[in-house]
Amino acid sequence: MPYVTIQMLEGRSDEQRKALIEKVTDAVVETTGATREKVVVFVEDIDKRNYGVGGKRLVD
């Protein structure tokens, strides 16, 4: 049973999340031969206050 975890910055709409989950599921099915019913996709939001690049938070 394939498990896929996607971490991304907060701010995507429900429609974007739905499309992402569907397309990732399709890609896993196509490349691994797993059935759709066995593919699990987790989407984890990262709060921009908790994400930094180059020593600075994205919100600063």
Which residues are tagged catalytic? 2
H helices of the chain, in order, are: 14-32
Six token digits for residue 56: 């600075």
Beta-carbon contacts of 56 under 8 Å, excluding residues fewer than 6 positions away, are none
3-state secondary structure of 42: strand
